[in-house]
Amino acid sequence: MIESSTQVNKNIIAYLNALADLEEAMAEGVGRVIKELNGQEEE
């Protein structure tokens, strides 16, 4: 039972880390789009 619980915790941690990586990648992408849009407005 404890081994199963430990494995579940490890899987949850891996999942949350993957979500954090995805969030970071999305933030970078959105940031680039916003910069591009701001640059087009100035022209």
Q: Give the model's pLDDT for residue 42.
A: 66
pLDDT at residue 1 tops 90: no
Q: What's the confidence (pLDDT) of residue 41?
A: 73
Q: Between vectors from CA 13 to CA 4 and to CA 27, what angle results, nearest 5°?
A: 155
Q: What pLDDT score does 5 carry?
A: 95
Measure the CA–CA gap between 16 and 32, rounded to whole angstroms: 24
Give the integer Cα–Cα distance in Å for 43 and 19: 36
> Which of 20, 18, 25 shows the shortest CA–CA distance to 33?
25
Q: Residue 7 has what pLDDT?
A: 96
Q: Read off the pTM.
A: 0.70
pLDDT for 6-42, tens place per residue?
999 999 999 999 999 999 999 999 999 999 999 987 6
Q: Please calculate the CA angle 39-35-24 and round it to the nearest 5 degrees.
A: 170
